[in-house]
Amino acid sequence: MARRRDIEGEDIPKAKISKESLKEALVIFKYLGPYKKTFIGGLVFIALSAGSTMTFPYLLKALIDSAHGTATGPLAYTPGAIALMLIGVLAVQMVFSFMRIYLFTFVGEHAVADMREDIYKKLIMMPMSFFAQRRVGELSSRITADVGQIQDAITGLLAEFLRGVFTLVIGIVAILWISPRMTAVMLSVVPLVIVIALVFGRFIRKISKKVQDQLAESNTVVQETLQGISNVKAFSNEWYELGRYHNNISAVVNTAISNGRYRGLFVSFMLFSVFGAIVLVVWYGVGLMQAGNLSFGDLTAFVLYTSFVGVTMAGFAEIFSQLQKTVGATQRVRELLREDTEDVAVEDVKLENEYRLEGNVSMRHVAFSYPSRKEVNVIKDLTLEAKSGQQIAVVGPSGAGKSTIVSLLLRFYEPDKGLILFDGRPASTIPLSQLRKQIALVPQDILLFGGSIFENIAYGKPDATEEEVMNAARQANAHDFISGFPEGYKTMVGERGVKLSGGQRQRIAIARAILKNPVILLLDEATSSLDSESESLVQEALTNLMKNRTSFVIAHRLSTIRSADQILVLEDGRIKEAGTHQDLMANEDGLYRNLNKLQLFEN
Ligand SMILES: Nc1ncnc2c1ncn2[C@@H]1O[C@H](COP(=O)(O)OP(=O)(O)O)[C@@H](O)[C@H]1O
Ligand SMILES: [Mg+2]
């Protein structure tokens, strides 16, 4: 029976088997292509191994019959000779089995590694809109669960299937040859038992799943209440939760008990019918033996072949259900492989020179809504003009669309209307990689990867030297605190290492941006969650970073943007006011002036 590997306990849905879905499943063979010879070698060894297994009952029969000297035909040898032959067959069989497992594993692992890399490449190059509509867990299960299922199909399922076909054909021919009449008896009983067992088994699996689901539901109660334990206690709802849990658990018990009744029936019925079938066949066989139409060896071989055939028939049901899962997995993988990716180019010096930017940015009547929420117009009509080297501040209430402007400049999304120009060129005419290479983003919540501080800074320029990384850290006011760690730049961050404070993380992100040396800099509330001491350090680092670059600064604290060349007050997807600090303060009823007043009290 096919080995099942449970990948993170994930349930792989089955798919209908149809001509189309099977055709889709052929994607597997594309990945087998490079390993064709090894794969065919594996197939040959399966045939050999199945074939040699099937000679076993025959040789055993000859061995048994040699005791009475009743052995006839080509194997009328002494018991010792036949036993040696049997051992020989077993030894050869060892080699065949080893080879088939080894070759299939080799092919399976390679093909699947190729497939995983292809899928990962697809995933990582997908546009942002793709990720907005899917859950991360769902995507990563493409690589783990679905590909794992396909791998099992290559290494296990196919072998199982071929082996099954060989076994069935050889087995049925063998029993027919031993005794056609007994075969008729056997074939009228065994498949019937198998069919009943399958139907019953499926029903039992269904009700066990119900128990599992109910148990999972009761676990949700436990998790929720333990996570929100302070809520439970503050509302003194302990008894209420206890009641909720009791109801859930009672449901589990009821279902499980009725489940137990069916399982009991199933097991006792199966024991009765399997052994009943054996008794029936053997009884009939003994009758034939008494009439002198069958030897004891024949009977033994017949029973052995019959059990091979029976087990194989039952195994086919499992193979079919696995095939359905595999087809489902290939369909989802195919869907993903068919999606259009962003155009992420490899290094190209010629392109780099052709598209080198000076840093003039303009947005003209841009309108935009997120693909996942088409009905909300996040940006309504936005026009702005930033000259090379200027500092543009964007302020406004949360939800105004400030971060959306950043995403549009990075071309995570395309505007629905209007134009974004870099040095007068429409953004869409600049290759994505060339554009993004010249822009650096310091976001509000910074993600550090689980590596060393050095690696995290060098993310801005993977081939940076130690000298460059340290220089960037110095300019970002990060060198001192990094050197303060016992392991310095080799300090691991994230789960396995030191937890950094918000301000420290921010300065590492700034060092990363400095190292990238961008023409255009995007700061999205880069200082909003800092205490005042680290804020002044970070602010100083940012001032260093903004020199000689076009920068867009989204700021929560207005004190940090007074010297900006332009301040844009964004509200509800539109620019409400624009100008320098002096311009905007001159307007008595202006939004900016009022916001400033409010913040004076805040600080
Ligand atoms: N990925 C997204 N998908 C759908 N709606 C979004 C997405 N990101 C932001 N929004 C919505 O767009 C509006 C503007 O968001 P954002 O630009 O992040 O505001 P700000 O940065 O000014 O606080 C908000 O109403 C927000 O809910
Ligand atoms: Mg924002």
523 C-alpha to center of ligand 1: Å? Answer: 16
pLDDT computed for residue 298 by the predictor: 83
Distance 402 CA to ligand 2 centre (A): 6
Ligand 1 site, residue 129, Cβ cutoff 6 A: no
- The secondary structure of 69-102, three-state, reads CCCCHHHCCCHHHHHHHHHHHHHHHHHHHHHHHH
| Homologous superfamily of domain range 447-517 | P-loop containing nucleotide triphosphate hydrolases (3.40.50.300)
Pocket test for ligand 1, best of 378, 414, 569 (most atoms within 8 A of CB): 378
* CA dihedral for 559, 564, 569, 570, sign (positive or negative): negative
Task: Give me the pLDDT at residue 8, please.
Answer: 38
Task: Tell me if 90 CB under 6 Å of ligand 1.
Answer: no
Ligand with minimal distance to 400 CA? 1
Nearest to 528 by CA among 504, 552, 549, 502: 502
Q: Does domain 12-178+326-342 have CATH number 1.10.357.10?
A: no
- Which residue's alpha carbon is nearest to atom 24 within ligand 1? 399
Ligand 1 atom closest to the CA of 525, numbered from 1: 21
Residue identified by tokens 């020179």 is: 353
Q: State whether the beta carbon of 370 lies less than 6 angstroms from ligand 1.
A: yes
Report which of 525, 521, 503, 522 is spatially closest to residue 400, judged by C-alpha positions.
525
Summarize pLDDT for 128-179 with one digit per residue, the tens: 888 877 777 677 777 888 888 888 887 788 888 888 888 888 888 888 888 8
Residue nearest to atom 3 of ligand 1 (CA): 370
Q: What is the number of residues in the chain?
A: 603
Ligand nearest to the CA of 401: 1
Would you give the DSSP letter of residue 345?
Answer: P
Which atom in ligand 1 lies closest to the alpha carbon of residue 373? 4
Q: Ligand 1: which of 136, 369, 403, 574 to mutate, most ligand atoms within 8 Å of CB? A: 403
Please report the DSSP string for 407-444 in residue order. HHHTTSS--SEEEEEETTEEGGGS-HHHHHHTEEEE-S
User: From atom 1 of ligand 1, which residue's Cα is the shortest distance away?
Assistant: 132
In short, whether 398's Cβ falls inside 6 Å of ligand 1 is yes
d(CA 131, CA 408): 16
Q: Is 403 close to ligand 1, i.e. is its CB under 6 Å away?
A: yes
Specify the pLDDT at position 447. Answer: 80
Ligand 1, pocket-test mutation among 129, 366, 373, most atoms within 8 A of CB: 373
Ligand nearest to the CA of 528: 2
- pTM (2 d.p.): 0.74
Atom 6, ligand 1: which residue's CA is nearest? 370
Determine the distance from the C-alpha atom of residue 54 to the mean position of all C-alpha atoms in its chain, rounded to a whole number: 41
Q: What is the pLDDT of residue 338?
A: 84
Distances (CA, A) of 424 to 35, 279, 388, 506, 592: 51, 90, 12, 32, 30
Give distance in angstroms: CA of 395 to centre of ligand 1. Answer: 15
State the distance from the centre of ligand 1 to the C-alpha of 551, rounded, in angstroms. 21
End-to-end CA distance of the chain: 71
Check pocket membership of 569 for ligand 1, CB cut-off 6 A. Answer: no
Residue nearest to atom 16 of ligand 1 (CA): 401
Checking 83-86 for CB contacts under 8 A at 24+ apart, the result is 85/59, 86/56, 86/59, 86/60
The reported pLDDT for the residue numbered 7 is 40
* Atom in ligand 1 nearest the alpha carbon of residue 396: 22
pLDDT of residue 318: 77
CB 379 near ligand 1, within 6 Å: no
The number of beta carbons lying within 10 Å of the beta carbon of residue 598 is 9
pLDDT in tens, 437-455: 899 998 887 888 888 999 9
Atom of ligand 1 nearest to the CA of 405: 17
Q: Which ligand number lies closest to the CA of residue 445?
A: 2
- The pair of structure tokens assigned to 441 is 């983003």
* φ, ψ (nearest 5 deg) of residue 531: -75, 170
Q: How many CB atoms lie within 10 A of CB 170?
A: 19
Q: pLDDT at position 11, please?
A: 57
Q: Give every residue of the chain whose pLDDT is below 50, as ranges.
A: 1-10, 603
Q: How far is the CA of 370 from the centre of ligand 1 (A)?
A: 8
The residue type of 214 is Q
Ligand at shortest distance from the CA of 402: 1
Q: Indicate the pairing of strand 520-524 with strand 550-554.
A: parallel
State residue 9's pLDDT score. 41
**Distance from the alpha carbon of residue 374 to the mean position of ligand 1, in angstroms:** 12
Contact 509, 457 (CB under 8 A): no
